[in-house]
Amino acid sequence: MPRHPIRFAAIAFLLLGIAALPGRAAPYEDAFVRVWAAHRQNPDDHEAVIAVCREAARQRDAQDQPLLGPYLSVVRTLEGWRLLQRGRTAEAVKAFEAALDPQRSTDMVVRSADALARRWLSRIDRETVAAALKTYHREEVAFPPDLAVFAAWPKDLQPPLRDRMGDPWVYRLADFRRLKTVAAQRYTLHSITIGRDTSALADALRRPYRDTPATFVRKNAAAPALAEFQIGTAPDIRSAVVQEGNRTEDIRFVALDSANRFALLSDDDFWLTALPAAGGRR
């Protein structure tokens, strides 16, 4: 997806400035804004953003709790994606696992970060399964009929037989188009939740971080928030009225800043922010 430097710089400028705007914003929202601005301003400087994420994650509030509050899990997933881009997979696993929500929080920010982290961790786990299949093929000169063969392997060598959402992998042997007599020499492997196209880690990492412009107008004063979104650029702009926590097509409206300065969105792989439209409720 092509980038637009002028629009990109303008959005980063706005994000840097909104922390200073008056309102009832919570400290954790201001802390997140500073991290998000660094993320948007540095699309290719992964090390710089990793450093910003880690510094923000270390900060504590007056009650000795993480300053980022529920946004800590969002920042850990940003860190994880940047680490993957640098090939630092073991560190990325730790960052994504720190964003998991074993307690099943009712906070939509925490739940959305959990879903996003599980998808990236599943892609990393798929590489472990692929490595085990390669080992099996080296010994048997064929791929196995199903993944159950790995249940007999020693525990410390077994690849994960389910993705991080808890579903079995979709694994099938595949034939060559022309060499019909050669069997068990190809396979397909994907997560049913993620789908075949981007289950492979390398395929997913080739996608640029989503940069879809979005604006919103809040339609109510109560919680949960209701907002009308304009998503995309002409001529492909779509409009939708969405309640906080719900979806419009592939994008979930995760949270609205306490001072109505930005809305946090997610497409399950990437985070997005929407800014107030001109004339919108502030």
At 189-227, the pLDDT tens digits run 999 999 999 999 999 999 999 989 999 999 999 999 999
**pLDDT mean across residues, the chain:** 90
194 and 125 fall within a common domain: yes
Domain annotation covers residue 57:
yes
Domain annotation covers residue 112:
no
Which of 62, 78, 74, 54 has its CA nearest to residue 27?
62
162 and 231 fall within a common domain: no
Domain annotation covers residue 104:
no
Say yes or no to pLDDT of 7 above 50: no
Average pLDDT for 20-25: 54
78 and 39 fall within a common domain: yes
Name the packing angle between helices 46-58 and 27-41 (round to 10°).
170
Among candidate residues 99, 133, 156, the one where a domain is terminated: 99
Domain annotation covers residue 153:
yes
Among candidate residues 169, 204, 239, the one where a domain is terminated: 204
Give percent of the chain with pLDDT exceeding 70: 88
200 and 213 fall within a common domain: no
Among candidate residues 148, 177, 204, the one where a domain is terminated: 204
Domain annotation covers residue 109:
no
Say yes or no to pLDDT of 100 above 50: yes
Dist. CA 199–CA 76, nearest whole Å = 21
275 and 182 fall within a common domain: no
Domain interval for residue 167: 121-204
Q: What pLDDT does residue 6 have? A: 37
Write the CA distances from 15 to 8, 216, 228, 260, 275, integer angstroms. 11, 15, 20, 13, 9
Say yes or no to pLDDT of 272 above 60: yes
Query: Could you give the number of structural domains in the chain?
Result: 3
70 and 87 fall within a common domain: yes
89 and 137 fall within a common domain: no
**Torsions phi, psi of 243, nearest 5?**
-90, 145
Say yes or no to pLDDT of 62 above 60: yes
Dist. CA 112–CA 73, nearest whole Å = 9
Domain annotation covers residue 47:
yes
194 and 239 fall within a common domain: no
Tell me if 279 sits within 8 A of 219, measured CB to CB: no
Dist. CA 84–CA 181, nearest whole Å = 39
76 and 22 fall within a common domain: yes
DSSP strand E in the chain: where? 170-174, 186-190, 214-218, 226-231, 238-243, 247-248, 251-256, 263-266, 271-276
List CB contacts of 80: < 8 A, sequence separation 6 or more: 92, 93, 95, 96, 99, 117, 120
36 and 3 fall within a common domain: yes
168 and 262 fall within a common domain: no
The helix (H) or strand (E) run that includes residue 137 is helix 108-140
